[in-house]
Structure 1
Amino acid sequence: MELSNYAFSFSRDTSTSLIYKNTELHFIVRNDTQDNTILILSELVMDRFSSDEQNELLLYLYMNKRKISTSRIFIYGMKIHSLKFFKPDMKFSKVFRFINYLDDYVPNSKLNRKIHKSFKNYRFSTFADKPTIMEALNLSKHMIYFKNQENTKLVSFFLGDNSISLIAYYNESIVGAMFGYLFDDTIYMLIHYYNRDYSQHYLNQGIYQSFIDECKARKVKKIDWGAVEKNNNGLIYMKKNFSTNIEEALIISF
């Protein structure tokens, strides 16, 4: 996969785009506190491509990270509800799209690295060849469970020092999910999803409140929600960025 096979325009200071399968994919470029360039694939709607095409694109981006002067890649725009449970044989691309490409980890199809996750048993296993990844995630410290008379569970977990992720589910169906990347004192929302069948469910309020409480605990001053757009699958993704303070974030509703 050479760069010459793709139409690619890159700028460290503004934005960049990639023409893939006659579809223009837009990127946002930011520098984090360690001066790492972060490439955020901001308008990739995965339904446009077949599984093979998705894998090709993701692998291409990883193989060429250094050529395009970026150290981290975050992708959103996938249907989270299609990932009801992570299974041991799930392809790495779907798993890593969901957990937004853990810092400094490059998936390699030859090594066939996998992450296993079971909501039913609350168990998280490690990559067979990189067990220290779980220490980096530090999941056991950050997992929070809520139960009520309906036996509804809100599972909240946070990945790494620079990212915050949250999932709520009811009767093994995902109710909603959120993922944000912490840059300076602002959380930039990358994944924003809700299940249409549970759009009015009280857990949606729990999602926001828990997420915002964690942001406040981390001294976050702003949440950049982005301008959101809904599609028929209930997926919400950002198109243009704008900032709002944490208190105002509670006004966001579906």
Structure 2
Amino acid sequence: MVAGWQQLSKQHANSVLPLLVGDQGCGKSTFCLNLLPPELREYYTDSIDFSKRSQAEQALSRFALINMDEFDSISASYQGFLKHVLQKTVIQTRLPYAGSTERMPRYATFIATSNNFDLLTDPTGSRRFICIEVEGRIDYSSAIDYKQVYAQAIEELRCKKPYWFTPKEEAYITRCNQKFQRMLPEEETIYSYFRVPVNTELFEELTCSEMLERIQRKHSGFRCSTTTAMKLGRSLKNHFSNRRLRQGTVYKVVEIKR
């Protein structure tokens, strides 16, 4: 966040979004507001409307911290635009009464809250989210020494400590986010027919298409579009051991007898 304010990189924006997940009333939104000292809170907002794309992009330059309260209420149709906004480094916009477009720097960092766990719809893009379960009510009884907090952040940046994640760290974040992944109905069906082998148990190596064909033979009403099948393939890689063969990726599975 502080690196973004200081414009340390012109090529990369802060595309990581911490996501606090916990019961209603546990203090998630207050925590987000308290990340900024009182003198900067006019640059905080929790009311961004993704249906108004131009205004949403302008908010990247107007605000220091944008809280996407109730993240799970954001329509799936806006997920692509959200990805675009998270990665955007410069905003090109035409201000009111201006005759030409103007390039404006991006300062905003995003944070989000939710009461529900089934949040993430794209397993390949979940590295952008740091999902944190809030297990109890957040304690605000201690005062925050904002000067010291931000002085430490600036000092670490001055010492060139990395403020980005390595590929290994991104892979770890993706694994941790699995409990927050929203499962497709087709995924639930596959996992009710196939499971992970245990220890030295005999297994089969099947492609995603072969698993779907077996399910369709047993469940005539089951249908799966090409787009959904591609999403299933990405999910299966996170769930089952797999390897790449000439006919495609095969997964080590045990069929659940019914």
Q: Same fold (TM over 0.5)?
A: no
Q: Which has the larger radius of gyration?
A: 2
Give the shorter-chain TM-score range. under 0.3
The structure showing larger relative contact order (alpha-carbon pairs under 8 Å, at least 6 residues apart) is 2
- More strand per residue: 1 or 2? 1
Q: Structure 2 length normalisation: TM-score? A: 0.27
- More helix per residue: 1 or 2? 2
